[in-house]
Structure 1
Amino acid sequence: MGNETILIVDDEEKNIKLLKAMLISENYQVFGALSGVEALKMVEDISPDLILLDVLMPKMDGLEVCMKLKQDEKTRMIPVVIITALMENEHRIRAMEAGADDFLSKPVDRIELLVRIKSLLRLKSYHDDLLDSYKEIAEKNEKLQELERIKEGLTHMIVHDLNSPLMVISMVLEKLLLDMENFSESQFQKIKKCLDYTLELGQFIQSLLDIHKMEEGNLELDKEVTDPVEVVNEVLDQFTYIAEVKQISLSFPRTADVPSVRIDQKLIKRVLANLLDNAITNSPDGGTIEITIDDLREKEVIWFRVRDNGTGLAPEYHQEIFEKFKQVELKEAGVKTGSSGLGLAFCKMAVEAHKGDIWVESEGEGKGCVFTFAIPV
């Protein structure tokens, strides 16, 4: 503190000079105004840190000046000290209603004046610091929002620009696969692998779009009554070939009398496909993966579970792995996740869009994982 600006408002110049004399040794910049109208104009010009305001003045008294200052957003935080010989309760109440921050009775005691001024200036300094911090945070938040808008715009542009060529590539590869007799087995497998990668990239792009829609609350679920066993079987069919290549055993023990559920089939199939793909990626050749459906009708949910005996995951990463792009950081830290960076984030959002929940259990690295998601019945 130091070099703060103080405005003294009094219709008698001798009173202004007296107060200036009391403040001269404290390094304050002191100004005087002889009327309420002059005071309001000076406030605009000098932006004082504190105002000493006499009550009894002609035309516009101190209480009216105080009220105008406190009603103005630009000046309402300037501390106002009412100085008056009228110290009855009625006058104090009127001053408080006008917004006064403190009172001093005439004749003014210098020590009391300085103590009250320092106290109010200290409070104003704290407020100014908080206001500066708030403005800084608001500016940073605005920049972050602008960056987010730019990022989303780029995402849409990239997705749009990638989708069309991917569709063309997929169609060409599928056409080539129809002419098996013109290719050797090795060539056929290479073309099929290219198609698989193209389809995988297409799923990644679709996940990117759907995550954005879910974040914005714009994804409409196409729910219908569905047999969960059929959903699992259809997804398993997609992974039979790749599981055979890695000699991985896929099992789905039948559960009797599993209740139907109202779900968006496409979304839930993609959730299961992501979890199965993750399990296969993390499983060793010759490993085992088990899919189960647990009927928990007493809790009004069913559980879909995908269990593998792969690389496993340390407990401290069980929550982080579902965060968007968090897998990139984890992989850089040497943590094996087996996820693209969006797959598990998509799973979490899709399940939560169904009012469900998803989690992973693992005793640690090398001990496999169990991914479970619950869907209301």
Structure 2
Amino acid sequence: MDTSQKTIVVVDDTPENLRLLVGILKEQDYIVRPAPSGMLALNFVRATPPDLMLLDIRMPEMDGFEVCKQLKADAQTRDIPVIFISALDEVADKVKGFSLGAVDYITKPFEAEEVLVRVKTHLTLHDLQQRLQESNARLQKEIAERRQAQEALLQSNQALEHRTQELSDTLQHLKLTQQELIQAGKMAALGQLVAGVAHEINTPIGLGVTEASFLQRKTRELFDAFSAGTLKQSGLKKYLQLALDSTTSILSNLTRSAELILSFKQVAVDQTVQEKREFNLKTYLDEVLLSLNPRYKRTQHRVSIACPDNIVLTSYPGAFMQILSNLIENSLLHGFEQIEAGHITLTVTPHDHDLILEYRDNGQGMTPEQQQKVFEPFFTTRRAQGGTGLGMHIVYNLVHQTLGGQIECHSERGRGTTFRMQIPLEPRSEKHHPYTQKEDS
């Protein structure tokens, strides 16, 4: 303990005793303030409260008992340790002194060592008591804050569990929808698509459930530690960081699940029924290109179409629109990712009873591995940016199922990509419902 920072008020109406006590204490580097009377001592203490007080009992005008009584009645001075020093050694005097709030009682004549030991002991106890009070105040504040944090986390967990249950219910609904679609025979490849959707959704939902369960267990452990009084600040900080990481992961997985559900709904459930009708292919493709112009008009990319003016089809115009839209979107997102001025061409050529549509871009091209997977559902090189990998799968099914044709891909890294489609002038007689929403591949 640094005694040079401690202030002690010594009160005694006998000058010799006062000088003796002051000398003993100053030798230990205490800051000592002598007071020859009780009234003067009260004025000292009220002006600048000391760390401890040595108080004689028998004094004129105001004795030590009265001084102590007034100190303990004042909220500003009641916590100052008071040690009585007196020639009175009767038990009744000592009992009275302690009952008034004194912490110790030294009988005259005294030894210097005894005075110093008792002074040091009570200064140390006083310091510890103050620290304990401060710690208790901080602890009460932390307890209140932790209660609030715990309640907020519990509410968050409940909300996350509710959201997870909603997504699980939606997945069950999608599985039922899958069975209905397969039985209806609307699309031969829909079974594979739905299986992929279920697998894709199960992964983030499973991760979300795992994280929610882990967070619930850690929350229960925190609550148990709090209830037992063993919770430490370091443990709370560690838990809060863990909770932040877990809720971030859960939210990310739930968001991903919602995106996949929306994609499936667009692909398999909310397909717009379109009627077969007669239309001029060149005119319709120009209209589609005009509607897509806002997608690339602020770039330096160019799209050109070469199609004879006299090709009139009785087919599904929406399918052609979706094919062209998804192919252009694929080029903009992937082919031209690091190219400022790309060029896209669509060439349409009649061939016997078929149409040959050749879509070409001068983008960065694909690797052989990417070419093999380009039409697979959920294959994408942009999953981290939110791509679902359904765009080119939609194109494949529109060409094969809706229009009854064929499509193949040719590409080299650094030399662009070509999609060649061979489509009958008369599509298959049974009615198919083409997709009506673009998907990022």
After TM superposition, the score normalised by the length of structure 1 is 0.43
After TM superposition, the score normalised by the length of structure 2 is 0.38
Higher Cα Rg: structure 1 or 2? Answer: 2
